[in-house]
Structure 1
Amino acid sequence: MSEPLAHSSVSDKRSRTGGVRTFPSPTASPARRRASTEALAAWTLAGPAVFFLFVLFFLPGIGVFVIALTDWQFGARSLSFVGFANFGEVFADAGFRASLVNTITYVLIIVPGTVVLGLLIALLIESGRSLRAFYRAIHFLPFMATLTAMAVAWEALLHPTIGLVNLTLVAIGLPTANWLGDENTALPVLAVIGIWQNLGYAMVLFLAGLKSIPQDLYDAADVDGADIWLDRLRTVTLPMLGPVSMFVVIVVAVRAFESFDTVKVLTQGGPGHASEALLYTLYRESFEYLHAGYGAAIAVVFLAIVVTLTLVQARVVDRKVHYQ
């Protein structure tokens, strides 16, 4: 009785597999289990970061975009959707256009100034023989200090009558100026303070990049006749610092776009709108005038501008970067 049953079961298996007898692979199951274990471990490690990234960044961003489509004001108990009317009002606002031009001008001053001076200081420190740690600490200190407190110190230094800057100019016979009260000097002075504040950060990154350049490249350059420091800088140092330079440019540009502290403490966007930056415009519309919907629209436009310029900047600079 058992033989026909066994024969029928084998026949059923062959019919289900097209007449070909198959055997389970001895390695498929362990490999599948290994892949599942690795995927579980990966999500276990990355899961909390992904969760907090969504909660702290993407979810608030979605909320800001939704608010930008409404006419809600802080303290109001009701709101209505107005579509993209707030965005049209943003682009039609002369004050917003002025703050956008000021911000772009501010970035165009800070980025090259910080990169060039940061690289120069890094080269000087690296070429020195003593007190390297001291000079690194001195130049990095402004980046570590609270910018609001430093802005108060700069306000005292730039005071039109008792400030140390004007007193020094009077002592050496040069004309003085109302540095923060003149529309021609307010924005450049804020840019100089921004360069001073970001200089140490760029210097540290360039020092790390200089440490990573192999000495063999400089020896080869000497053999090829590039024994002058300018030739070594042009043929070895600058090309090898390409990735670091690209990172410094992008980070400093983003930080410059986010400038707010010095504007709020020193000029409040004045005189007129001469030094008003985008973030200060956002702050004023949202928290002083309580126009939450309009302020959210400015925030969305600001984020779009920063992301677009960062991507374009990275793409353009990346083409000229030499990777080892």
Structure 2
Amino acid sequence: MSRPAATMESAGTMAQAGDRGASQLLSASPAKRRAFAEGATAWMLAGLAVFLLLALFFVPVLGVVLIALTDWQFGSASFSFVGLANFREVFTDQGFRASLLNTILYVLIVVPGTVVSGLAIALLIESGRSCRAFYRAIHFLPFMATLTAMAIAWEALLHPTIGLINQTLAAMGLPTANWLRDENTALPVLAVIGIWQNLGYAMVLFLAGLKSIPQDLYDAANVDGADMWLDRLRTVTLPMLGPVTMFVVIVVALRAFEAFDTVKVLTQGGPGHASELLLYTLYRESFEYLRTGYGAAVAVVFLLIVVTLTLVQTRIVDKKVHYQ
């Protein structure tokens, strides 16, 4: 059979198959046609989101994993595959270990500090009688502001000689410090700035959670003898804020793991490696030392750590959460 004849025959076969599919769809029951239409509509609506998820997340992650298996340097025209050599170097690198421990300590300070402070301020604002909108705006402002600009303002406040903090301490007869250049204070100071920056976000979420608690529960608690504010907080407020608290803990923990701006502007990871966090290590290796393959390996390990800790944290916290 000649090629044109074969092409015409295959086209005719496809047309017949299409006609059969259309006829089957038309002859189907109304319920099946409705289910088919709903499925087609769902895929049409979700198609763009699925495409964007693949293009903006899975494809870049796959690219980073492939780069981590090479010795490619940023700007180089050639590379070679080195297998797992970059990952072996990551786990034997003292600098990476130091930044990992710093990051864990930073998260352990920022997350509880943000949750407790945000809840306390939310309770104070909710119990107030006036200027609630003003106080909400004031506390939410740091979250909306550009962190790099705020870091510069903090650098001026923490200046060892002319900074307002040291001048205030000196006026009160208290000892001063070079906050950002002392290995004992650099990381805690960054953590305090992290708490300050995330405080408004946690406060707004807790305020929304407080407004959703039915007043009937507080009335029932009063009848049962829990008429003190501490008893009401322990028996009603905190249990009912469980879902909001879990969300705040997870989101603030993710933001704490992603801390970069304050390290870059204020300490550059110093003194030594005292305030170096994982994201800054990734940046330094990839764009300052141009060890892109090694930096990609750090990124893969960083992603695995964040995903694992998030899943563990969700599972642990979810067991203690009360859902209405």
AA in 2 matched with 1:160: P
2: CA distance, partners of 1:115 / 1:183: 26
Partner of 1:19: none
Instruction: State how far apart, in whole Å, the 2-side matches of 1:270 and 1:78 are.
Output: 33
Output the CA distance in 1 between the equivalents of 2:28 and 2:220: 53
Residue of structure 2 equivalent to 1:9:
none
The SS at the match of 1:88 is helix
- Return the offset for 1:225: 0.6
Cα deviations by residue, 1:61-97 (Å, 9 ceiling, x for unpaired): 0000000000111121111111111000000000000
Flag the structure with larger Rg. Answer: 1
Structure 1 residues 74-153: aligned runs within 5 Å? 74-153=74-153
Q: Which whole-Å deviations, capped at 9, do the CAs of 1:180-215 have from their partners, x for residues lacking one?
A: 000000000000000000000000000000000000
Matched with 1:237 is: 237
In the alignment, the residues of structure 1 paired with residue 281 and residue 298 of structure 2 have an alpha-carbon distance, to the nearest angstrom, of 8
What per-residue deviation string (whole Å, max 9, x for no partner) do you get for residues 227-249 of structure 1?
A: 11100000000000000000000
Aligned to 1:314: 314
In 1, Cα distance between equivalents of 2:27 and 2:81:
59
Map of 1:47 onto structure 2? 47
Query: Using the alignment, how far apart are the partners of 1:172 and 1:237 within structure 2?
Result: 39
1:255-303: CA deviation from partner (whole Å, max 9, x where unpaired): 0000000000000000000000000000000000111100000000000
Q: Which one-letter code corresponds to 1:187 in the other structure?
A: L
Per the alignment, residue 261 of structure 1 pairs with: 261
SS in 1 for 2:167: helix
Question: Runs of 4 or more off by more than 3 Å in structure 1?
Answer: none
CA distance in 2, matches of 1:179, 1:27: 78
Partner secondary structure for residue 38 of structure 2: helix
Structure 2 regions of 5+ residues with no counterpart?
Answer: 1-23
Structure 1: distance between partners of 2:197 and 2:74: 34
Residues 235 and 28 of structure 1: CA distance in aligned 2, closer, same or farther (over 3 Å) = farther
What letter matches 2:235 in structure 1?
T
- Matches of 2:50 and 2:247, distance apart in 1: 24
Cα separation, 2, equivalents of 1:268 and 1:67:
25
- Partners of 1:302 and 1:241 lie apart in 2 by 31
1:249 maps to 2:249: yes
Q: Report the residue type matching 1:79 in the other structure.
A: F
How has the CA–CA distance of structure 1 residues 170 and 58 changed in structure 2, closer, same or farther, with 3 Å as cutoff?
A: same
Question: Percent identity at matched positions?
Answer: 83
CA–CA distance in structure 1, aligned partners of residues 164 and 214 of structure 2:
45
Q: C-alpha displacement at 1:27, in angstroms?
A: 9.7
Question: Matches of residues 1-324 of structure 1 in structure 2 within 5 Å?
Answer: 29-324=29-324
- Offset at 1:30? 1.1
Counterpart CA distance in 1 for 2:74 and 2:317 is 42
Q: Work out the CA distance in 2 between the residues paired with 1:279 and 1:222.
A: 49
Distance in 1 (CA, whole Å) between partners of 2:73 and 2:27 is 63
The residue that corresponds to 2:8 in the other structure is none
TM-score (norm 1): 0.91
Q: Give the Cα–Cα distance (whole angstroms) in 2 for the partners of residues 194 and 253 of structure 1.
A: 11
Amino acid at match of 2:173: G
1:31 offset after TM fit, Å?
1.1
CA drift of 1:320 comes to: 0.2
- Listed one character per residue, the Cα deviations across residues 10-50 of structure 1 (whole Å, up to 9, x for unaligned) are xxxxxxxxxxxxxx9x9952111101111111111111111
Secondary structure at 2:290 match in 1:
coil
| Counterpart residue type for residue 178 of structure 1 | N
Deviates more, 1:26-35 or 1:121-130: 26-35
Name the CA distance, whole Å, in 1 between partners of 2:221 and 2:75: 68
